[in-house]
């Protein structure tokens, strides 16, 4: 029966909520799906087949590879004192709470390529400065959470999120008759990620005017600092503060990030130039996965040479490249299991659940809002934007095909829903040196406000479909 295709996702959600271990819950979801479709013994062997099929896909393999490379690059920068060096520079200009919070936005320019790196780098740079000006740690944690994902989700180049997003769309539009490239669809869908846009506007208001922050709270504060919560599960592996082993040097942050941005744009052009004579046309026609992976590998190579000239040994550089890759291993496992879960649910007939008759029974103007709210509920329940996107993207594509709603809009609602869980982040609270419970109680009212405004905005957009 087709309804059995819902069981793997339901099991994943229930176990994540109960045991709060996403990798285990995803594995149990995949296992349930293979047992349903293959039986006992064949079901167990099919787990490996689904996982290996995910890795064997070229775009997926590139995604996993440059995530590991991003982890290595971030570790190199931190090891060489790039973060602490920049902290010293910033402290000369940030003399008030508003100035410190403003610098969290400014530093996004050079830390945008990975959300975890942004949170750790900006938190490490600004926390000591915030303490000097006696600013609000909870407000700082909120700013870190918003700028670590909501802002980065809207940047269409050289980010770890973008690579995964393009790969996910690529896998879900195969054999659908959709002719636009996955990268073009993702760029267009960024405009329709209304939740991230709205949370950025709210966060700018908090940064400049406060907007009642610390006065509106939901829940009760506790002093526990090692609490587990929903959200940013995929970032736990990067939550520790490293101790820099070399003198502080802000150039060791600025130069690698500049090389990364320039080289990635170059490889976009290089891989797309045969398909278009214009520069912008080449960028839109680029081999996205190849370009972003080539950019980060080239950056690691140049950064390593630059550090060698600073008397950092090759053995030390190699050790930190490996260490940085190891830090993202849990995220790699989460992605592989997420892709496997998506595949097994599709093989069970999940796509057939979304029939044309079912879609037509839903008022067309409500479809974007419904998909956003479902995605948001799932993301907050299982605590992972990545896994939510993998679960909900097939639904978004099928709703679009059967309802005629713009596919970029439907994809954007999935990004928006998955992003809900990342507003309240344990990593951000840790880097702001405050308890997670305080971060939760002070930030949650703004999450609720953002969800309500976003849902209303999607309904309004629906009237013009």
Task: State the average pLDDT for the chain.
Answer: 81
Average pLDDT over residues 184-208: 93
Enter the tokens of residue 89.
């520079």
How many of the other CB atoms lie within 10 Å of CB of 322? 12
Check whether 224 has a pLDDT greater than 50. Answer: no
3-state secondary structure 251-263: HHHHHHHHHHHHH
Residue 198's pLDDT is: 96
Which of the four pLDDT bands, split at 50, 70 and 90, describes residue 85? confident
Closest-CA residue to 411 (of 51, 232, 157, 171): 171
Write out pLDDT tens, residues 303-358: 999 999 998 889 899 999 999 888 778 878 887 888 888 788 878 876 666 555 56
pLDDT of 229 higher than 80:
no
pLDDT at position 226 is 42
pLDDT at 197: 96
As a whole number of angstroms, the distance between CA 138 and CA 429 comes to 7
User: Between 337 and 120, where is the model more confident?
Assistant: 337
Q: Rounded to an integer, what distance in angstroms lies between the CA atom of residue 394 and that of residue 384? A: 17
CB atoms within 10 A of CB 176: 13
Domain ranges (residues) in the chain? 2-462
> Does residue 213 carry a pLDDT above 80?
no
Looking at residues 152-156, what average pLDDT do you find? 86
Percent of the chain with pLDDT over 70: 88
In this prediction the pTM is: 0.75
188 φ, ψ (degrees, to nearest 5): -65, -35
Spell out the residues 6+ positions from residue 331 whose beta carbon is closer than 8 angstroms to its own: 67, 234, 235, 237, 386
257's tokens: 């990030």
Examine the pLDDT at 434 and tell me if it is beyond 60: yes
Please, which pLDDT band fits residue 109 given cuts at 50, 70 and 90?
confident
């Amino acid at each position: 029966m087709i309804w059995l295709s819902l069981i793997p996702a339901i099991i994943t959600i229930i176990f994540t909520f109960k045991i709060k271990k996403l990798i285990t819950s995803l594995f149990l979801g995949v296992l349930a799906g293979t047992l349903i479709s293959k039986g006992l013994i064949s079901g167990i062997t099919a787990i490996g087949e689904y996982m290996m099929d995910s890795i064997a896909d070229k775009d997926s393999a590139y995604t996993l590879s440059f995530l590991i490379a991003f982890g290595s690059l971030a570790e190199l920068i931190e090891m060489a004192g790039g973060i602490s060096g920049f902290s010293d520079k910033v402290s000369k200009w940030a003399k008030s709470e508003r100035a410190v919070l403003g610098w969290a936005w400014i530093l996004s320019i050079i830390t945008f390529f990975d959300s975890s790196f942004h949170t750790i780098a900006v938190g490490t740079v600004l926390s000591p400065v915030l303490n000097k000006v006696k600013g609000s740690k909870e407000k700082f944690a909120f700013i870190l959470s918003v700028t670590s994902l909501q802002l980065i989700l809207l940047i269409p180049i050289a980010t770890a999120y973008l690579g995964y997003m393009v790969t996910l769309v690529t896998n879900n539009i195969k054999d659908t008759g959709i002719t636009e490239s996955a990268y073009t669809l993702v760029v267009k869908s960024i405009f329709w990620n209304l939740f991230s846009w709205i949370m950025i506007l709210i966060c700018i208001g908090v940064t400049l005017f406060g907007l009642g922050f610390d006065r509106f709270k939901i829940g009760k504060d506790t002093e526990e600092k090692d609490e587990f919560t929903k959200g940013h599960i995929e970032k736990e592996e990067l939550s520790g503060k490293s101790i820099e082993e070399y003198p502080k040097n802000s150039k060791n942050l600025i130069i690698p990030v500049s090389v990364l941005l320039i080289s990635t744009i170059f490889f976009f052009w290089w891989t797309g130039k045969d398909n278009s004579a214009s520069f912008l046309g080449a960028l839109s026609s680029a081999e996205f996965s190849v370009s972003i992976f080539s950019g980060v590998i080239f950056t690691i190579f140049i950064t390593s040479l630059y550090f060698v000239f600073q008397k950092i040994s090759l053995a030390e550089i190699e050790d930190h490249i490996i260490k940085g890759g190891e830090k993202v291993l849990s995220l790699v496992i989460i992605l592989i299991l997420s892709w496997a879960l998506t595949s097994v649910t599709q093989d069970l007939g999940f796509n057939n659940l979304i029939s044309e008759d079912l879609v037509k029974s839903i008022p067309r103007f409500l479809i974007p809002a419904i998909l956003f709210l479902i995605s948001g509920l799932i993301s907050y329940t299982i605590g992972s934007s990545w896994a939510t996107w993998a679960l909900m993207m097939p639904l978004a594509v099928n709703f679009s095909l059967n309802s005629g709603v713009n596919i970029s809009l439907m994809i954007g609602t999935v990004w928006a829903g998955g992003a809900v869980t990342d507003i309240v982040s344990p990593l951000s609270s840790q880097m702001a040196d405050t308890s997670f419970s305080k971060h939760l109680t002070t930030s949650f009212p703004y999450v609720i406000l953002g969800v309500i405004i976003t849902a209303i905005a999607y309904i309004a957009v629906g009237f013009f479909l």
